[in-house]
A = this chain, B = another copy of it.
């Protein structure tokens, strides 16, 4: 399968979600400009993204919603459910566990890890919690390749290392700290502190634009 740019992948994920709600509302087909409007982008870009995954519409009815969803799914998803590990079951970890429990058909959290001995062995939201030392065998046993990392800052780098060694190839990192891992591990950072600082900055720009300051 061809490879697409990260930006395109992000947008495809978005398109699919919006297409699903459109489908739920009974819509059978969409135009590129409809999709564009939904994601606040341009029609040309939508068409380009869809072209990347070799997806054709026709000129009078646009794209068939079902087709599109299937095409995007074939591109983004693996054929079977992808097992995911969660590391760190604190406030955020628990929220995430519950959130992903329901929201995704193809991504399933199948194991959680925590170094708190209180938690080891317990079942949280239907997931057995393992100690960190059990990671290699559990990860290998369940063929886990993707992990969500929600441990405190100081512990993130180390946990990432352990995950890498256990065979994980993609980490969604919530700790506000860049991870050092080998080139065969993809890391995506969800840095909320950064995000909030950014909106605060931009809000201030907007504000002073309004209030006179040229």
Report whether A200 and B13 are in contact in the complex, using a CB–CB cutoff of 8 Å. Answer: no
Residues of B within 8 A of A3 (CB): 205
Residues of B within 8 A of A77 (CB): 197, 200
User: CB < 8 Å: which of B17, B145, B178, B197 contacts A193?
Assistant: B17
Given contacts A38-B178, A99-B91, contact A146 B200 (CB under 8 A): yes
Given contacts A190-B190, A193-B103, contact A199 B171 (CB under 8 A): yes
Query: Residue among A84, A202, A203 with the most chain B CB within 10 A?
Result: A203
Residues of B within 8 A of A60 (CB): none
Complex Cα spacing A94 to B201, Å: 24
Report whether B91 and A203 are in contact in the complex, using a CB–CB cutoff of 8 Å. Answer: no
Say which size band chain A's interface belongs to.
35 or more
User: CB < 8 Å: which of B98, B172, B197, B205 contacts A13?
Assistant: B197
User: CB < 8 Å: which of B76, B99, B146, B170 contacts A92?
Assistant: B99
Contact of A116 with B by CB under 8 A: no
A161-209: which have CB < 8 Å to B? 168-172, 176, 178, 180, 184-188, 190-207, 209
Contact of A104 with B by CB under 8 A: yes
Complex Cα spacing A172 to B201, Å: 12
Report whether A191 and B98 are in contact in the complex, using a CB–CB cutoff of 8 Å. Answer: no
Contact of A40 with B by CB under 8 A: yes
Report whether B196 and A100 are in contact in the complex, using a CB–CB cutoff of 8 Å. Answer: yes
Report whether B178 and A199 are in contact in the complex, using a CB–CB cutoff of 8 Å. Answer: no
Report whether B17 and A170 are in contact in the complex, using a CB–CB cutoff of 8 Å. Answer: no
* Interchain residue pairs with CB less than 8 A apart (19): A3-B205, A6-B198, A13-B191, A14-B191, A17-B176, A38-B178, A40-B180, A76-B200, A77-B197, A82-B200, A103-B193, A107-B197, A146-B203, A170-B206, A172-B196, A185-B206, A186-B205, A186-B206, A190-B195
Q: Which residues of A contact B (CB under 8 A)?
A: 3, 6, 9-10, 13-14, 17-18, 38-40, 76-78, 82, 84, 91-92, 94-96, 98-100, 103-104, 106-107, 145-146, 148, 168-172, 176, 178, 180, 184-188, 190-207, 209-210
